[in-house]
Structure 1
Amino acid sequence: MSAVNYKVGNEKLIKILEGASGHLRQLLEKQGRSDGALRIAVVGGGCSGLQYKMDLVDGPRDRDILVTSNSVNVVIDPKSALFVAGSELDYSEDLQQGGFKVTNPNAQVTCSCGESFAA
C-alpha cells in the first residue's frame, strides 16, 4: 500500500467551531473512526449553483488538504478548497434550520437553507 500524498493546511482554510467539533467527534466514534476525518467538498447543484457535500471518511486521499481544527480532522480536495477558504463550520440545534452550517466569506449569494451558495 503506497503512502497518501496530501498537504497539511491550517484554520485559515476552514475552522471547526466548538458546537460542530463535539458532534463530529461523536459521529466519528459511533462509526468506529475516532481517527477519521470529515470530508467537505463543493459540488454543483443546490438553488444557488454550488452546494456543500460532507462525509465521514477514514482519512485524506491523494492531493487532499488536511486541516485539524478543534480536535477534528477535516479533508478537502484542492478544487473545493478554493471555494471554502476562510469558512467556519458550526452546528445548530434549531428545529427549523438545525444541523451543520458553513459560514463562507466567499459566498456572494446563499440560499436560506445554508447548504447552497454561489461564489
Structure 2
Amino acid sequence: MTATSLPDTSGATPAPDITISEFGAQKANSILASSGKENAGVRVFIKSGGCSGYQYGMAIDDRELDGDTIVYDRGVKLLVDHMSLPLLRGSEVDFVENMMGGGFTVHNPNATSSCGCGHSFRTDSSQAPDGEGSGGCASH
C-alpha cells in the first residue's frame, strides 16, 4: 500500500518549519550584511552534546546542501539540514540581551527539558548520548 498526500485545498497557509523573531531578524540581517557572503543565510542545526543531550548551533552559510529546508522569514534566509529539522520544527530563533551580553537563542516547542544556559535541550523521544546529560553547563 502506498501513502498518498492530498493537496491542501483549505486555503490555509501551512506554518513554516522554523521562524525568526523581529528582533532576531534585525540582528541576523545586520550580521549577514557584514559577512561578505552573497546570498548567505543563517544555518540552524542540532548536534549531540551539552548538558541535556543536544546543543543548538548557528552559523552564517552561503551553501545550500542537499536535503536542506530553506525558510525565508522577515527577510532572513534560514537553512536547516534534514537531520536537525525534526528536532527544530516549530521553533523560533530569537536574539536576547541580558547583563551577560547578547546572543541568539532558540525557543523550541519540542524540548521537554533544557539546561539553565539555554543552549542545550532534550526531547521526550531522545536520550542523551552516553556520558552526557549529567552535570552542569560546563560541558559546552
| Distance in structure 2 (CA, Å) of the matches to 1:77 and 1:34 | 20
Distance 1:43-1:34 versus aligned 2 partners, 3 A rule: same
1:3-14 matches, cutoff 5 A: 12-14=16-18
Tell me the SS of whatever aligns to 1:19: helix
**Which residue does 2:128 correspond to in 1?**
none
Q: Which runs of 4+ in 1 moved over 6 A?
A: none
- Structure 2, unmatched stretches of 5+, are 1-13, 124-140
Gaps of 5+ in 1: 1-9
Instruction: Pick one of 66, 75, 84 that aligns with 2:88.
Output: 84
Identity of aligned residues (%): 35
Select the residue among 6, 22, 29 that pairs with 2:26: 22
Evaluate the alpha carbon distance shift between residue 30 and residue 11 of structure 1 in structure 2; reply closer, same or farther with a 3 A threshold: farther
**Residue of structure 2 in register with 1:33 after alignment:** 37
- Equivalent of 1:65 in 69, 72, 77: 69
- Higher strand residue share: 1
Largest Rg, 1 or 2: 2
Q: Secondary structure at the match of 1:79?
A: coil
**TM-align CA RMSD:** 1.5
In the alignment, which residue of structure 1 is the partner of 2:78? 74
Query: What's the TM-score, normalizing by structure 2?
Result: 0.74
1:1-57 Cα offsets, whole Å, 9 max, x none, are: xxxxxxxxx753111001111111111111112521101110000010001111101
Query: How much does 1:96 deviate?
Result: 3.2
1:3 — aligned with what? none
